[in-house]
Amino acid sequence: MHVHASDKKLTESGSAKFFVKSNGDTTVERQGILSEREVRIIREFIKDNYKDMYLKWNELSNNGFFGE
């Protein structure tokens, strides 16, 4: 599963891409123009909500978590 997070203008070039592991930890493929603080907040949000996010992801995708 992966998650995109964007800057306030919702631009593709400003967006970050996070791969989510089965324990909710993430690896950052691309940070975009987000600050380290913003990335940290997003990673914490993903960690807190990854199970619900995965259920929605599973409805839309045949892929599992990153690295599996």
pLDDT digit string (tens) for 30-46? 999 899 999 999 999 99
**Which tops the pLDDT comparison, 50 or 56?**
50
Query: How many distinct structural domains can be found in the chain?
Result: 1
Is residue 68 domain-resident? no
**Residue 18 burial (C-beta neighbours within 10 Å; 0-12, 13-18, 19+):** buried
Is residue 38 domain-resident? yes
**Residue 30 burial (C-beta neighbours within 10 Å; 0-12, 13-18, 19+):** exposed
Residue 49: CB atoms within 10 A of its CB come to 12
Q: Do residues 3 and 53 lie in contact, with contact meaning Cβ atoms separated by under 8 Å? A: yes
Is residue 65 domain-resident? no
Is residue 50 domain-resident? yes
Rounded to the nearest integer, the mean pLDDT of the chain is 86
- What range does the domain containing 47 cover? 2-60
pLDDT band for position 68 (cuts 50, 70, 90): low
Is residue 67 domain-resident? no
Is residue 36 domain-resident? yes
Q: Averaged over 14-30, what is the pLDDT? A: 93
Is pLDDT at 47 greater than 90 in this prediction?
Answer: yes
Is residue 51 domain-resident? yes
